[in-house]
Structure 1
């Protein structure tokens, strides 16, 4: 009796241009949603923190959409114009949802009575949930639709090049803020791999900068685990 040959399917891991930035953006949405749920909008300090956080969210997402339009979508516009147009229209909708949030912030700024602050705070929270749901679906769609198109037309090396163009376009403060959220959105192994990659390929100041951000953003027990693993790896290298 002939023995059937066993065929092993090998899946090649391609470079995901949206990782880890989408992980950072999701962390930003999740933490902001929790903050809003816990905010007493009658309390001046808590309300001010919530207003500042929402302004930060809108600014970060607007900047992210602009980078995708100018670098990621632009890379496939000549090949897949209808797909790019559909995603750019979603960015228009995303901007509108951001404007809705800012309109509620303006209304809250004019509120005086505690009851008005509570009512507007509740509407602001609902508006943020709508903003979050839209963006979570949008990012998932980008990963499932745009990634395969990028892989069809570009090598991983070329996609890394697009990422480098985006990084060079960021102002230092913008890059620092986004790096902080990406660290908060990754697990320990992913952070460790990121640190090792930067340590092996980037100038020492870049590695030290990422190390400092990781230390400031991670909870002490997580930072201790990452630091120990990084130090152990350095000893074994």
Structure 2
């Protein structure tokens, strides 16, 4: 049944605050671009090899951090209201950590002995990891989000997100922002930067804008500047 069906004609409920989807969009973009980089890797080009493996390392670090934060903050909130609801997803988290340990070891081996078969092996295992991660994240968005919405108000969900942000180092926040900015819609981007503008010191907010400009095309960058009132052409 449409949850808006009982509202007066012409009105719609505002969407609930979503703890999952924006971060998952960032991770999906990071995963697919890293996968493509490894897939076209020239193992005889040391600079290209180093760049690709550094990106794999950063992806695995951010993915591990994301799982840890989900376990500590999001799953804990769900379990407090509905014990056992996150068990299956939590077991998948354990499997994902094991997979990432294997990918890290393969990346290290490729760095030490760069061969085409080793690069192909890393690529194929990364393909499987990305495919399984996509299914996993979609399950969280469609199965766990409704549980959060049924037990928590949007203000409480924002508090959970703030606790996650407070537990993230500036380096990892910058890494997430670099992939989040191009992965979300212009409206979401404007809202998040408006939040940052209120929360951050001027120098830190300016640094976030520099990141945004570096990863957005001209049209998307102008939309963001216009939304923030930064003298851009609409």
TM-score bracket, shorter-length normalisation: 0.7 to 0.9
Contiguous gaps of at least 5 residues in structure 2? 1-6
Q: Does 1:202 align with 2:199?
A: yes
* In 2, Cα distance between equivalents of 1:36 and 1:174: 22
Deviation of the 1:203 alpha carbon = 4.3
Larger helix proportion of the pair? 1
Q: Decide which of 23, 47, 72 is 2:74's aligned counterpart.
A: 72
* In 1, Cα distance between equivalents of 2:153 and 2:68: 23
Aligned residues: 225
Q: Superposed, which structure 2 residues align to 1:176-191 within 5 Å?
A: 176-191=174-189
* In 1, Cα distance between equivalents of 2:205 and 2:55: 28
Counterpart of 1:24 in structure 2 is 26
What is the root-mean-square deviation of aligned Cα atoms in Å? 2.4
Counterpart of 2:50 in structure 1 is 48
Residue aligned with 1:81, SS: coil
* In 2, Cα distance between equivalents of 1:159 and 1:55: 30
Q: Superposed, which structure 2 residues align to 1:32-111 within 5 Å?
A: 32-111=34-113
Deviation of the 1:110 alpha carbon = 4.0
Alpha-carbon distance change, 190 to 7 in structure 1, aligned in 2, over 3 angstroms: closer
| Higher Cα radius of gyration | 1
Residue aligned with 2:117, SS: helix
- TM-score normalised per structure 1: 0.85
Alpha-carbon distance change, 27 to 17 in structure 1, aligned in 2, over 3 angstroms: same
* In 1, Cα distance between equivalents of 2:130 and 2:104: 14
Counterpart of 1:3 in structure 2 is none
* In 2, Cα distance between equivalents of 1:63 and 1:195: 22
* In 1, Cα distance between equivalents of 2:188 and 2:153: 23
Counterpart of 2:160 in structure 1 is 162
Contiguous gaps of at least 5 residues in structure 1? 1-5
* In 1, Cα distance between equivalents of 2:223 and 2:77: 39
Deviation of the 1:198 alpha carbon = 3.4
Deviation of the 1:210 alpha carbon = 2.7
Q: Decide which of 130, 149, 152 is 1:151's aligned counterpart.
A: 149
* In 2, Cα distance between equivalents of 1:171 and 1:65: 15
- TM-score normalised per structure 2: 0.86
* In 1, Cα distance between equivalents of 2:57 and 2:230: 41
